[in-house]
Amino acid sequence: MSQAENTKHLTPQAGLVKLTMLISGAVFALMMLIGVVMRASQGGLLDMEPDLFYQLLTTHGAGMVGTAGLSGAGIMWYFLGRHVNLSAKMYIGFLALFLIGVVFILVSTFVGHFGGMWTFLYPLPAMSAGAWEPWAAAAFMLGYVFIGVGFLLYYLAVGVAIIKKYGGLGRALGWHVVFGKADVTEAPPPTVIAAAAVTIFNTLGIVVGAAVLVASLVNLLVPGFVVDALLAKNMIFFFGHVFINASIYMAVIAVYELIPEYTGKKWKSSKAFILAWSAILLFVIAVYPHHLLQDMVMPAWMLVMGQIISYLSGVPLLAVTAFSMCVYLHGSKFKWDLASSLLVLAVAGWSIGAIPAIIDGMVVVNQVMHNTQWVPGHFHIYLLIGEVGMSFGFMAWLVKSKSQKQSGMGAMDKLLLTSFAAGGAGFTLMFLVSGALSVPRRWAVHMPEWFLQDRLATIFALLVVFSILTQVIRYATGLSRNTAK
């Protein structure tokens, strides 16, 4: 069946995905509120005990990264379902395990006062100096284990379905086209290529994450069981880097599938597209040492690799997504509505955010910028404007009604888009400015000299929260009205 035929069908399990996006949207909004509270507290606008700040920061980090993963997974499931047969039971299992994990994490941070950050860097969870009990750290890591197992189920279902239809992950990646004799018309659709790549690297990342989680859990229960701290750090950052990247690489499938609805031009699996996704697969796995540039005990070749691949990582992103999108938009009668505007904005945000990230991936810069707010500066650009933008673009498309299709952007749509874009840009810019001024990240208490950026950022963040909260409400009401997709 051709791709065009497929897209006419109703996606099976759309209801499950709609529910996933509702949960994601609500949690995004809630975690953003926590973010505003933290930023206001850094700016001296709120009085907050530092230990509460670290519990909130832990919840915000884990909650945001988890929700980015969840929303990305929802998007990928929805569109992959147009091409292969996916098991609803496995998805329900994934969702259930995910939600159990969330409960563990919330209990750990809010009841158990765990504040060891979403990165649970070994041996911090076991060394709270009385700030939290070992059970709270254990609950946090167990929560991750549940979420991880849920994701493994998810990728198992995806992998099996893809292999059944395409006869192997290599073929799903399009290798028979670029390395074999097959014609480019025999290449799988972009969604399948992306899904195959993400399935491989995120499964690897989660397995490594699970291993270090279990080791840390044993260390918590039996303190005599010591883990090599550098190895643990490598495993944690491999997992963390891969997982958060996977969230965007899953969400971008919405761009590949929806932008063609607006341009009338199918997103093609060209040879460049196939090669770019194979490069992404390799780079995502190999680039993680850019998180360890300050660990001078690391083998030098790994750090050099981290820096060089950081440069390269931007290329497939810009070439196959940003550049292709511009080509597709150019000369087509593109209809700007909330969904399509958010998707285009998100690709722009993702691309722009990659630049300060690459800069920070250079050893000489990292020497100065490491652990400053430059870091949350760059990742909030591609996560907030990029991943969250794609998720809300997809959600707006899901609930778009026929009458809206004709009318394009209403006044409310314009307001929501502008406040999201301007708020997001201003909020992230303040992080970058602070980072350039060497303001440290992860500090509960700021010096009065840093308050100006903190306070401006709080105002910008409120604009984002206004937009996102309103969009969630509109999505929820839209779901009950619209069952066409």
Q: What one-character-per-residue DSSP string does 445-473 give?
A: S--GGGHHHHHHHHHHHHHHHHHHHHHHH
Q: Which of residues 193-222 bind ligand HEM (CB under 6 A)?
A: none
CA–CA distance, 320 with 256 (Å, rounded to integer): 10
Among 57, 194, 212, 322, binds ligand HEM (CB under 6 A): 57
Query: Alpha-carbon distance 188 to 178, whole Å?
Result: 12
The nearer residue to Cu ion, 241 or 446, going by C-beta atoms, is: 241
Cα 344–78–12 angle (5° rounding)? 145
- Minimum Å gap between C-beta 164 and ligand HEM is 33
CB neighbour class for 182 (10 Å; exposed up to 12, middle 13-18, buried from 19): middle
What the block records as the tokens of 193 is 């290529």
What is the total count of residues that contact ligand HEM (CB under 6 A)? 26
Chosen from Cu ion, ligand HEM, none, partner binding at 258 (C-beta under 5 to 8 Å by type): none
At closest approach, how far in Å is the CB of 426 from Cu ion? 25
Q: Does 241 bind Cu ion (CB under 5 A)?
A: yes
- Using CB distances below 5 to 8 A depending on partner kind, what does residue 442 bind out of Cu ion, ligand HEM, none? ligand HEM
Among 16, 17, 65, 342, binds ligand HEM (CB under 6 A): 65
Contact 354, 281 (CB under 8 A): no
Picked from ligand HEM, Cu ion, none, the partner binding residue 241 (CB below 5 to 8 A depending on kind) is Cu ion
Per-residue x/- track, 108-137, ligand HEM (CB under 6 A): ---------xxx------------------
- Quote the tokens at residue 169: 């992950």
Q: How far is the CB of 348 from ligand HEM (least distance, A)?
A: 16
Exposed e or buried b per residue across 266-302, where buried means at least 16 C-beta atoms within 10 angstroms of its C-beta: ebbbbeebbbbbbbbbbbbbbbbbbbbbeeeebeeeb
- Binding partner of 39, given Cu ion, ligand HEM, none, CB within 5-8 angstroms per partner class: ligand HEM
Minimal CB distance residue for Cu ion: 241
Q: How far is the C-alpha of 35 from the C-alpha of 458, rounded, in Å?
A: 9
Report residue 2 as tokens.
């051709």
Q: Kindly state the number of chain residues that form the binding site for Cu ion, as judged by CB under 5 A.
A: 1
Q: What is the CA radius of gyration of the chain?
A: 22
Instruction: Please state the closest distance from residue 306 (CB atom) to Cu ion, in A.
Output: 9
Nearer to ligand HEM by Cβ, of 268 and 380: the residue is 380
**Does 387 sit near ligand HEM (CB under 6 A)?**
yes
**Which of these ranges, 237-245, 327-335, 406-414, 462-470, lies near Cu ion under the rule CB under 5 A?**
237-245
Using the structure block, give the residue that is written with the tokens 């810009």.
Answer: 318
Please, what is the angle between helix 389-398 and helix 50-80, to 10°?
Answer: 50
Give the residue with the Cβ less far from ligand HEM, 62 or 161.
Answer: 62
Residues in the chain: 485
The residue (of 413 and 454) whose beta carbon lies closer to ligand HEM is 454
Cα 218 to Cα 239: distance, rounded to the nearest angstrom: 19
80 binds, among Cu ion, ligand HEM, none (CB under 5 to 8 A by kind): none
Q: Which residues bind Cu ion (CB under 5 A)?
A: 241
Q: Which residues bind ligand HEM (CB under 6 A)?
A: 32, 35-36, 38-39, 57, 60-61, 64-65, 68, 117-119, 373, 376, 380, 383-384, 387-388, 441-442, 461, 464-465
